[in-house]
Amino acid sequence: MSAKPLTLIAGPCVIESRDLVLQVAEQVSGICQELGIDYVFKASFDKANRSSGKSYRGPGPDEGLKILQEVGESFGVQVLTDIHESHQAAAAAQAVDVLQIPAFLCRQTDLLEAAAQAVAGTEKVVNVKKGQFLAPWDMAQVVNKMAESGLDPASGRLWLTERGSSFGYNTLVVDFRSLPQLQALGCPVIFDATHAVQRPGGQGTTSGGQREFVAPLARAAVAVGVDGLFLEVHPDPTVALSDGPNMVPLHRLKALLSQLVALRSVVAEGTAVSVL
């Protein structure tokens, strides 16, 4: 296992306000600096895949990208946001460091190509979330599409994120074999511990979640040897405008990350044992 510091992608699901975004970025960046974690702030300027058409989606690209750019400049951290349409890629790449392709859109060729082209000639990154409907080895074709569009997986600038797989109605499960299987495709692999505990859809107008399982899943991913973690955090998830049931309360984040850093250190010191 690499001795490279753990990467953490963390922030609120969506930009609810400038003040909240800056508050979260300031606190999480301070925690990560103390613990030796490479921090990437995340928030969406538009949540285009909400369960209900009446749900809050965010401030939109004009205001949202300005806020995200301010985060990077104010705290000296990398910033990630997702894009849903090809025409958003170029503008987003001007404002942030990591373009994220949502899981539901991971096979959209035009979107993948636009993201790869938007970061061409830079050190910026594209993070592709594995669709809930795909096996890990199916992501090989996603990686091939990105390589054909000029984003070499060997550059380390193409990340793949595991966020669970559909298992019957309104349920996701995580097969931790997927993490080394995704790493075998030659890309850094992130584990999304908060969306993995989401309960998609359901009888209401919003998705549910089981945040009590975030910590054990995150510990398992670190033990397997994942390159980074994705955690949505909020000062008060009970009033969050998106994904509240599966988000980590901000005041609990440091304790969790401290445990994960300690676990990663133990794993890094061990020697891989083959049972074959």
- Sorted by where each starts, the structural domains of the chain and their CATH numbers stand as 7-269 (3.20.20.70)
pTM over 0.75: yes
Q: Give me the tens of pLDDT residue by residue for the chain, a chain 276 residues long.
A: 456 899 999 999 999 999 999 999 999 999 999 999 999 999 999 987 766 667 788 899 999 999 999 999 999 999 999 999 999 999 999 999 999 999 999 999 999 999 999 999 999 999 999 999 999 999 999 999 999 999 999 999 999 999 999 998 888 999 999 999 999 999 999 999 999 998 876 555 566 778 899 999 999 999 999 999 999 999 999 999 988 889 999 999 999 999 999 999 999 887 566 656
* Cβ pair 229, 5 in contact under 8 A: no
* Cβ pair 36, 261 in contact under 8 A: yes
Cα angle: 47, vertex 139, 68; to 5 degrees: 30
Place of tokens 């990350």: 257
